[in-house]
Chains A and B, each alone.
Chain A
Amino acid sequence: MTVLEPFLFPFVQRSLAEIILLSVAAGLLGSWVVLRGLAFFTHAVGHGSFPGLVLAGGLGLPPQLCALVVGLLFAGGLQRLSRARGGAYDVVTALLLIGALAVGVILASDVFHSGSDVETLLFGSLLAVGAQDLVLAGVAGLVALAASAWLGQAWLATGFDPDGARQLGLRSAAPDALLLLLVAVTAIAALTAVGVLLVAALFVVPAATARLLTRSLRALQAGAVLLVAAEGTAGLWLSVRINAPPGATIALVSGVVFGAAAALRAPVALIVASRPVSRGG
């Protein structure tokens, strides 16, 4: 197979289009995920939508819709519980996302008898995307652009100094709630591509890499989008060449790229010990 031959297949071309379209939403919202420490939430939304996908497959319903409904209920329930039991937030979330997987497995293997599909749901089926997925990815990108322009300042202020933002007058919970909602919606748009378990490969890892390499917000966002597109394309190409699941290859590629960036930048950061360390994560 020559270098560019994978891209001659129509299904690969569709997959490529999906990745490029997803890169806008994944890169933009991924930047916010990294800046606002929402990696856990993104991971949880992915897990939470798993039972929804299984239900959709078993009942013949549209998958993204089911995933969205279940994923949102899951994420919403998570937020409510986090407020009720402040300190035990990570206990509840960890248990719930394991629970979501367990429920999905029970439904899949014993109610719908679709055991083999579980793996595709978990790790994605990028090579089988349809027109619907492309449209969804495109819409997600537009929504991400608009939302980032509209609420970016509020999100930035809260991330920079949460108490200060409140004192400054940003007392509404709406901007952050919308951020979480948008992250959930775009994560679900990405599920077809990379599956339930690897959402971070598109949302968190490229944006984290960009974070290491940039100093301004604009650069971070642009960098994240470019990296998602590049890593997605490279992962896709690799998966066709070695006949491996594309979601997993993309995850591996993005991880390796991050590792390289960290190796380049981190020693500088570690040596410059006087640089203040960010509070928590």
Chain B
Amino acid sequence: MSPADLVGVLVEPFTEPIVQRAAAGVVLLGIVGGLAGCWVVLYGLSYAAESLAHGSLPGLVVAVAAGLPLLIGTSGGLLVAAAAIALVARVPALGRDTAVSIVISTMLGLGALLALAPSTPRGLAALLFGDVLGLSTADLAVGVVVAALLAVLLAVFHGRLLAVGFDRETAARLGVRPGLVELLLLVLLGLALVVVVPALGNLLAAAILIGPAATARLVTRRVPAMLAVAVLLAVGSGLAGLDASYQLSTASGATIAATILVVYLLALGGVMLRRRSAPSAGPGGPAVR
């Protein structure tokens, strides 16, 4: 097969309108996931993000069952889960990880109960694993708005996010309010999930938040570069995964998530190999946590 043929095969899926719409959704996903994901990773909130996504399942199911916009369901579920985790984490004897585990297990149980009740319209599978090819125009419109909003918020608050992430205590002394900044992070995460969950599903959404950003962190030294690389990687992985799912006839959301993981592992492997051969050299990522 000549290179031209190969390219032809790879591009073929994108000639279909359904896939084109899915691709547009994936691009928005990539932008949103890459941008918000960078701060999630820099603040060491990967597990938190993954868990909060799970924790918003009951909210999601309620929204679907009641016919409410997903935005309300996801954001509401996210807020409840985050508040519950914050409350439980304040119990002295339990660590934060334990608190997350408790709240998320309860939320998932509740969500599954609600979703498997006969009255729920959309299947549990779609809620859990997403439906990239089923994105509506409304979903895309929401995606555009959220992407723009995210970009603006990140531009405005870049300095504060950087200061608090680097050294929370000193940032407070510099006049930044760490609590507000962390609340902002939660808002950013919520916005990102609104766009990502319909496509990748509740269980896999965090992949596009964590993976590209973590990969970018391995290969960049400063945050602006990290943001750019993360977005590029997220969009690229998303489109590649979409293509692969078409070629191999596999579930699209899961294939995108798998692609993101593969990219990260390759980058990680590369960095570790380089570090082993030249211990003093190699990027260490932006100096934040």
Contacts and interface: CB of A to CB of B under 8 A. Distances in A.
Nearest to A204: B101
Given A93-B47, A96-B261, A118-B125, A244 B98 contact: no
Interface of B: 41, 44, 46-47, 49-50, 54, 87-110, 112-113, 116-117, 124-125, 128-129, 203-204, 206-207, 210-211, 214, 217, 248-251, 253-255, 257-258, 260-261, 264, 268, 272, 289
Contacts of A276: 92
Contact of A197 (B94, B108, B207): B108
Contacts of A93: 46-47
Nearest to B111: A248
A198 to B, nearest CB: 6
Most buried by A among B54, B101, B113: B101
Given A34-B94, A99-B261, A198 B210 contact: no
Contacts of B254: 101-103, 105-106, 109
Interface in A61-107: 81, 84-85, 87-88, 90-99, 101-103, 105-106
Given A123-B112, A204-B98, A262-B91, A102 B47 contact: no
B97 A212 contact: no
A249 interface: yes
- Closest CB pairs A-B (n = 9): A281-B95, A255-B106, A251-B109, A39-B101, A200-B105, A99-B261, A102-B257, A248-B112, A105-B254
A244 B89 contact: no
Most buried by A among B50, B103, B108: B108
Given A39-B101, A204-B101, A252-B113, A94 B95 contact: no
A87 B53 CA distance: 22
A251 B95 contact: no
13 contacts: A39-B97, A85-B268, A95-B261, A103-B254, A118-B125, A122-B128, A123-B112, A123-B116, A251-B109, A269-B92, A280-B96, A281-B89, A281-B94
Interface string A120-143: 001100000000000000000000
B90 A266 contact: yes
Contact of B46 (A94, A119, A211, A262): A94
B69 to A, nearest CB: 25
Contacts, number: 200
Nearest to A111: B250
A37 B95 contact: yes
Contacts of A248: 108-110, 112-113, 116
Contacts of B113: 244-245, 248-249, 252
A171 interface: no
A204 B105 contact: yes
Nearest to B129: A105
Interface string A219-241: 00000000000000000000000
B108 A251 contact: yes
Interface of A: 34, 37, 39-40, 42-43, 81, 84-85, 87-88, 90-99, 101-103, 105-106, 109-110, 115, 118-119, 122-123, 197-201, 204-205, 208, 211-212, 244-245, 247-252, 254-256, 258, 262, 265-266, 269-270, 275-278, 280-281
A39 B98 contact: yes
Contact of A254 (B44, B106, B210): B106
Contacts of B94: 34, 208, 211-212, 278, 281
Contacts of B90: 266, 270
A88 B108 contact: no
B96 A245 contact: no
A188 B270 CA distance: 33
A280 B95 contact: yes
Contacts of A244: 113, 116-117
Contacts of A115: 125
Given A84-B272, A251-B106, A251-B108, 12 more contacts: A42-B101, A43-B104, A91-B41, A95-B260, A98-B204, A99-B261, A123-B112, A205-B106, A252-B110, A255-B102, A258-B106, A269-B93
Given A91-B41, A270-B90, A37 B97 contact: yes
Contacts of A98: 50, 203-204, 206-207, 210, 257, 261
